[in-house]
A and B are shown apart, each in its own frame.
Chain A
Amino acid sequence: MGNPVQRPLPDVNDPLYQMHFQGLKDNQLRVQQCDACGQRQWPPRDLCKQCHGDRFHWPVMPDQAVVYTYSVVYRAPHPWFKDHLPYAIVVAELENGLRLLGNAFGEDVEKIQCGQLVQAHFQHDEDSGVCLLRWVPTC
């Protein structure tokens, strides 16, 4: 029957993203923080948007957040997602205002609302060794 379709995967060796994806593998949410001024930013950028510094570290963020916005997908834009319909894309806001995008799967996805509390889950894929972010409603 041919090879199963693989999920689109990030480039975990991309220097700008490497620490984030290593964090997910360690069950941690890591975001980019400027060494010079302490500004945290997401998505990661080559320069700090506040002071234009170009040296960063990657602190661990709390793993609870609030749904800022979301999308529930009924027609898969890629074959891998066909088996997971409907699925949700969740943009969840951390207490410091940064928003991280992840998925929600399962029968509750149509109940997702802005303002809902969610908890980070870490979805490890053994074949690729890549870990991706899931947001799971806490109530």
Chain B
Amino acid sequence: MSGYQPDTAAIAGIGETEYTRGTDKSGLQLLMEASLKACADAGIESGAVDGLVMTSRVGTNEDFVASLGITDLKFHAHIKIGGASPVAGLHLACHAVASGIAERVLVSAGRNAYSSMRLGATDSGPRVVWPGDDIRRNLEYPYGMIAPMQWYSLHANRWFHETNASREGMATVALNTRHHAHLNPRAWFRDRPMSREDYDASPMLVTPFKLLDVCLETDGAAAILVTRADAARHAGGKPPVYVAATAEGHPDSPDDLSNRPDILGMGIGKAAPRALDIAGIHLDELDFAEIYDCFTFIVLRQLEEIGFCQRGEAPDFVANGRIALGGELPLNTHGGLLSQAHISGMNHVVEAVRQLRGDAGQAQVAGAHLGLVTGYGDFGDGAIAILHN
């Protein structure tokens, strides 16, 4: 028993900054801008926020209290599981409002990730500290395994070996995601076409990842305001988006891929059945999915571990337009991390809310009622949310 009854909590407000490469704003200023917009969107005064879940590497609860004018903070937490943090933050916020420890919980993500701290940086500037820092420094960095694309390639190459998965799937995800970005005026690559020839010609960085399999780094922030669903209905903002279920999961040996007994195992594989059970739905009922996409291949692997198909079958699952707008399961309708922006996946949550409000513009999924959002972080942590209108 999770203790969470479906639809107890709702997302009452969303906020986003512009997504750019280059900014004169600090990471904190971006976070506050998105947070103020989320409060305004929910129809509440920012000072009335009484819970904070922070998922960014910048910002403290004191920073938020000072900037937003919060008068009575009842709850705060930091979540540090990389790209799974925003959805895990939503998970925690829902349980916080359900339990009554706070009523208006702000979950925020973002930073000036392009202009300041780059994930791949190792030799100069501020260094991102990953989980298992002693393993990284002693057993991986000396061997030139330093950036996420190298870690995840170990998983990818073993996946190809064990399953004989088609190599086409990664290209399908890259092209589909870029196509959706062209429908989104807030996407960094909104005007940048990508052809199959472009994909094939993009340079190999680390087998099997080409440049166009890898996400963007951008400056920006996004935030959501979570309340009890009954409160959201009376707040005077937009219609609430209900949270049917959320869950978080961690792989075995979460700080070490090399000695994970089953390197294909991921946190989402533990979290997804929990969330589906709480929500009481089946995967074939979903109208769309916003799947964390730091790499094309991680989208394929999550689809498999969630249970849309068996291991090795995701390249076939995504083929023939199934994940395109108008297909059976439109996927990453905003352009994702690959082609919209890298806001650690909070942009995926924001997009799911837009879809369920009917506010997704040209990328609107007709009749969108039930959607899935995932997060993936660090060495395979996962989080999942099932939302509906």
CB within 8 Å for A43 and B142 given contacts A71-B153, A71-B154, A72-B206: no
Q: For chain B, residues 106 to 158, give those with C-beta under 8 angstroms from any C-beta of chain A.
A: 120, 122-123, 132, 134-135, 137-147, 150, 153-155, 157-158
Q: Is the CB of B139 within 8 A of A74?
A: no
- A58 CB to closest chain B CB (Å) equals 15
Chain B interface, number of residues (Cβ within 8 angstroms): 33
Give the CA-CA distance A87 to B161 in the complex, in Å: 20
Give the CA-CA distance A117 to B140 in the complex, in Å: 21
B204 within 8 A of A: yes
Pick from A9, A70, A130: contact of B154, CB under 8 Å:
A70
Give the CA-CA distance A42 to B315 in the complex, in Å: 33
Minimum-distance CB pairs A-B, first 8? A114-B161, A69-B158, A77-B146, A10-B138, A71-B153, A8-B141, A72-B207, A77-B147
B99 within 8 A of A: no
Contact residues in B for A122 (Cβ distance below 8 Å):
none
Name the residue in B132, B143, B147, B258 with the highest tally of chain A Cβ atoms < 10 Å from its Cβ: B143
Q: For chain B, residues 191 to 241, give those with C-beta under 8 angstroms from any C-beta of chain A.
A: 203-207
A52 within 8 A of B: no
Q: Is the CB of B207 within 8 A of A77?
A: no
Give the CA-CA distance A88 to B205 in the complex, in Å: 12
Chain B residue, CB-CB nearest to A12: B138
Contact residues in B for A70 (Cβ distance below 8 Å):
154, 157
A16 within 8 A of B: yes
Give the CA-CA distance A24 to B144 in the complex, in Å: 18
> Residue-by-residue, is A75-99 near B (CB-CB < 8 Å gives 1, otherwise 0)?
1111111001001010100000011
Q: Is the CB of A103 within 8 A of B157?
A: no
Name the residue in B132, B138, B203, B206 with the highest tally of chain A Cβ atoms < 10 Å from its Cβ: B138
Q: For chain B, residues 304 to 345, give those with C-beta under 8 angstroms from any C-beta of chain A.
A: none
Contact residues in B for A14 (Cβ distance below 8 Å):
134, 138
> Residue-by-residue, is A12-42 near B (CB-CB < 8 Å gives 1, otherwise 0)?
0010110001000000000000000000011
Q: Is the CB of B145 within 8 A of A101?
A: yes
CB within 8 Å for A89 and B154 given contacts A73-B206, A74-B205: yes
Give the CA-CA distance A68 to B146 in the complex, in Å: 19
Q: Is the CB of B150 within 8 A of A77?
A: yes
CB within 8 Å for A75 and B139 given contacts A69-B161, A81-B144, A103-B144: no
Give me the interface of B with A, judged by CB distance under 8 Å.
Answer: 120, 122-123, 132, 134-135, 137-147, 150, 153-155, 157-158, 161, 203-207, 256, 258-259, 263
Contact residues in A for B157 (Cβ distance below 8 Å):
69-71, 114
Chain A residue, CB-CB nearest to B132: A43
Give the CA-CA distance A34 to B150 in the complex, in Å: 31
- Can you give 28 contacting A-B residue pairs, CB < 8 Å? A8-B137, A8-B142, A10-B141, A11-B138, A16-B134, A43-B135, A43-B139, A43-B258, A71-B153, A71-B206, A71-B207, A73-B150, A73-B205, A74-B205, A77-B122, A78-B122, A79-B123, A80-B144, A84-B144, A89-B145, A91-B258, A99-B258, A103-B143, A103-B144, A114-B157, A114-B161, A130-B142, A132-B143
Q: Is the CB of A89 within 8 A of B205?
A: no
Give the CA-CA distance A132 to B138 in the complex, in Å: 10
CB within 8 Å for A78 and B259 given contacts A43-B135, A71-B206, A72-B206: no
- A111 CB to closest chain B CB (Å) equals 12
Contact residues in A for B155 (Cβ distance below 8 Å):
69
Q: Is the CB of A87 within 8 A of B144?
A: yes
Q: Is the CB of A75 within 8 A of B137?
A: no
Contact residues in B for A81 (Cβ distance below 8 Å):
144
Chain A residue, CB-CB nearest to B153: A71
Give the CA-CA distance A91 to B155 in the complex, in Å: 11
A62 within 8 A of B: no
Pick from B122, B206, B258: contact of A101, CB under 8 Å:
B258
- A85 CB to closest chain B CB (Å) equals 10
Give the CA-CA distance A72 to B204 in the complex, in Å: 10
Contact residues in B for A72 (Cβ distance below 8 Å):
206-207
